[in-house]
Amino acid sequence: MLSIVKRDVLNLLVNPALNLYGTLFPVLLITAMGVLNQSMFATDIISSYDYYTVTLLVFIMFNMAVISTNSFMEVSIKQANLRIGYAPIKRYQIYGSKIMATFLFSLLSMGIALVFMRVIFSVNFGIDVLWLVLVLSAGSLFASSLGVMTVILLKHEESANQLLGIILIVFALMGGVFFSPYAIGETFGNLSVVSPFRWVIESAFLALYDECYQVLFKTVGVLVLLSGLCLMVCQKCFKLEAYL
Amino acid sequence: MKTLLSVRNLKKSYGDIKALKGISFDVYEKEVLCFLGPNGAGKSTTINILSSILTKDEGEITYEGQSFEKNLSTYKASLGIVPQDLAIYEEISALNNVKFYASLYGLKGEALEAAALNALDNVGLLSVKHRKPKTFSGGMKRRLNIACGVAHQPKVIIFDEPTVGIDPQSRHYILNYIKALKDQGVTVIYTSHYMEEVEDISTRILIIDHGEILTEGTKEDLKKMLGDTDKFTIDIEANGSVNTQPFYRIDGVKGVEVSDNRLMFDVVRGVDCLDKIIAEMIDQHIKLSNLNKEKATLERVFLHLTGHALRG
């Protein structure tokens, strides 16, 4: 399993597009949103960089679902990945390694963004940045599992990415990644409670700035549970022959 | 001969399409068993089931007398697969590709390194082991595809059309390599469209079409199926006025066929009647433009069994 995970991580790292997405994109996005919305956060409590580092990292972490579909079924590595299935290994190792690799890749991506924002923009992570890391990691685990599960169910990377792309952007808008969902309307705002983005963002802010950890633990628990659910679906539905 | 793999009444359907209609065959130790068949015959389905990535609907497969499903790990460990599609990572070196796949079979450390280098050497890629496959030619990629499937030194190797779309040099190299594997006592299952390859390397041939095995045997056995006749093909300038009846009166002529400015004669082997055929053609004022004697080739056997109609 370890050698497959290592191979999958390296596959992600040697892909220039995914590399940029994992490293440069978060930093640029947070910086751009931070600069553009600086005036809206004219308080000493929280700056636009503080806010968008949290919300956009949540956005990036959930978007790792798309990376995991790529890690599994991207056209240039699909056949090479399927060849692993000829070896005497367990079925779960094939998809499990993709989830694990994407998860590790997302941690690396998150680490780069957090260090950059702290060093360059002196972002204030409140009580302890580890709370943010914890909830983002849970989000990333769920996203990685969700991506692999979707590609297993749809049997096609492009279809999986299209579906995930739509779902993720809707949940991101509902979750207040870019602006408050109530800005669109009260109904939309109320509906936004179903968005995992909102759970993670709210729980992160509560933990970082209000020392309230209960919601964060619940959120992490739910995300881990959902990840487990995705894994169960993967184990039930994954058949190599579907990709021949 | 010891039976290594035994397949009985193997069936597989895709919806309404019956890809395999209950085929049975054995694979003997140290042989090169070649599967011949047109597109859609059921070759790849059979290979994919034997590779254990496709589940069968019915039938029994045993490996060394044991059900392969009950001993799947042992079976897979002794199997090497060279898939039809290139299954290599383009962005990592040839050596790392081979090492990665061989490591999945439990090889580690120096043994892994040695096995990978040996496999690359066998396919003529040792000198470019640090190059990435994206810089390789089609033939080199095909050879790397082989190295990745055989580095763990399996007892049985399945080659699924390994020479598709490559240059003659690489094809020659691959075929020689397969012959060398046979000499080393490795059992090979090989699928191809190319008759000359199959004639060259096979110890036994299995012709499959429409999900059924039409025949099996050595190439000599199969050629005997064509009977004791030779085939003459004569290109003519027009076929509007050919009267085939007089040809049947010639001693030795067993059959005459006219199609598209061409006359085809089945003639009893050993009977010298070509001069009489040509004389009759002259009598009928048929102008001859080319003459060809077809030998009893595997291609003739194949076309005889599977027909001349184009496949979709």
Q: Does B54 touch chain A (CB under 8 A)?
A: yes
Q: Considering the domain boundaries, does residue B183 fall inside one? A: yes
B105–A contact, CB cutoff 8 A:
yes
Å between B104 CA and nearest CA of chain A:
6
According to the model, what pLDDT value does residue A229 have?
Answer: 96
- Domain match, B216 and B245 both: no
Report pLDDT digits (tens) over A102-153.
999 999 988 988 898 888 888 888 888 888 899 999 999 999 999 999 999 9
Q: Give residue A75's domain range.
A: 2-243
**Interface contact B13, partner A, CB < 8 A:** no
Residues B121 and B220 in one domain: yes
Phi, psi of B18 (to 5 degrees): -90, 100
Q: Cβ of A86 under 8 Å from any chain B Cβ? A: yes
Kindly determine whether residue A241 and residue B55, on different chains, have CB atoms separated by under 8 Å: yes
User: Are residues B30 and B45 located together in one domain of the fold?
Assistant: yes
Rounded Cα distance, A121 and A111, in Å:
15
Residues of chain A positioned with their CB less than 8 A from the CB of B85 = 79
Test A4 with B79 for CB contact under 8 angstroms. no
**Domain annotation covers residue B309:** no
Residue A43: band (very low, low, confident or very high) from pLDDT cuts 50, 70, 90: low
Interface contact A240, partner B, CB < 8 A: yes
**Are residues B215 and B82 both part of a single domain?**
yes
Instruction: Give the whole-number percent of chain B exceeding pLDDT 70.
Output: 95
> pLDDT tens digits, residue range B11-45?
999 888 888 999 999 999 999 999 988 888 888 89
Residue-wise pLDDT for B102-154, tens only, equals 999 999 999 999 999 999 999 989 999 999 999 998 889 999 999 999 999 99
Residue B266 located in a structural domain: yes
Query: Of the candidates B73, B72, B79, B55, which has an alpha carbon nearest to the alpha carbon of residue B4?
Result: B79
pLDDT band at residue B171 under the 50/70/90 scheme: confident
pLDDT at B135: 93
Domain boundary among B224, B250, B275: B224
Burial class of residue B212, CB neighbours in 10 A (0-12, 13-18, 19+): middle
Residues B119 and B245 in one domain: no
Q: Give which of A206, A200, A197 is closest to A170, Cα–Cα.
A: A197
Sign of the dihedral through C-alpha B116, B117, B118, B124: positive
Range of the domain at B246: 229-295
Instruction: Please report the sign of the dihedral spanned by the C-alpha atoms of residue A83, residue A86, residue A91, residue A92.
Output: negative
Name which of A10-19, B1-10, B57-66, B172-181 the model is least confident about: A10-19
Residue A85 CB partners (closer than 8 Å, separation 6+) = A91, A94, A240, B53
Contact A88 B100 (CB under 8 A): no
Q: Which residues, 6+ apart, have CB-to-CB distance to B58 below 8 Å?
A: B9, B10, B11, B22
Touching check for A45 and chain B: CB below 8 Å? no
- Our CA-based measurement puts residue B281 at a distance from the nearest CA of chain A, in whole angstroms, of 55
CATH assignment of the domain containing B45: 3.40.50.300
Find the DSSP H helices in B26-167.
Answer: 43-50, 72-77, 94-103, 109-122, 138-150
Q: Is B90 on the interface with A (CB under 8 A)?
A: yes
How many domains would you assign to chain A?
1
B216 and B104 fall within a common domain: yes
Contacts of A223 (CB under 8 A, 6+ apart): A135, A138, A139, A141, A142, A196, A200
Full-model pTM: 0.81
Average pLDDT, chain A: 88
> Residue B305 falls within a domain, yes or no?
no
Encoded amino acid at A166, one letter: I
In a domain, B276, yes or no: yes
Maximum CA pair distance of chain B?
79
Instruction: Check CB contact under 8 Å for A7 and B104.
Output: no
Name every residue whose Cβ is closer than 8 Å to that of residue A37 and which is 6 or more positions away in sequence.
A48, A51, A52
Domain-ending residue, one of B163, B194, B224: B224
Pull the structure tokens for residue B169.
């040099």
CA–CA dist B112, B92 (Å, integer) = 17
pLDDT in tens, A213-225: 889 999 999 999 9
Quick one: B129 and B271 in the same domain? no
Q: What CATH number corresponds to the domain at position B258?
A: 3.30.70.100
**What's the gap in Å between the CA of B235 and the closest CA on chain A?**
45
Pairwise CB contact (< 8 Å): A86 & B53: yes
Q: CB-CB: which of B54, B73, B148 is closest to A88?
A: B73
Does residue B287 fall inside a structural domain?
yes
CB B43 within 8 A of CB B32: no
Q: Is residue B212 part of a domain?
A: yes
* pLDDT of B310 above 60: no
The pLDDT of residue A103 is 94
Same domain? For B187 and B46 the reply is yes
Nearest CA in chain B to A13: B91
| CA nearest to A242 within chain B | B54
Nearest-CA distance A88 → chain B (Å): 5
Q: From CA A72, how far away is CA A59, in angstroms rounded?
A: 21
Question: Chain B partners of A86 at a C-beta cutoff of 8 Å?
Answer: 51-53, 76, 79, 81, 149
Q: Name every residue whose Cβ is closer than 8 Å to that of residue B54 and which is 6 or more positions away in sequence.
A: A241, A244, B12, B45, B48
pLDDT single digits (tens) A198-210: 889 989 988 888 8
Count of structural domains within chain B? 2
What's the pLDDT score for residue B24? Answer: 94
d(CA B101, CA A30): 40
A167: pLDDT strictly greater than 80: yes
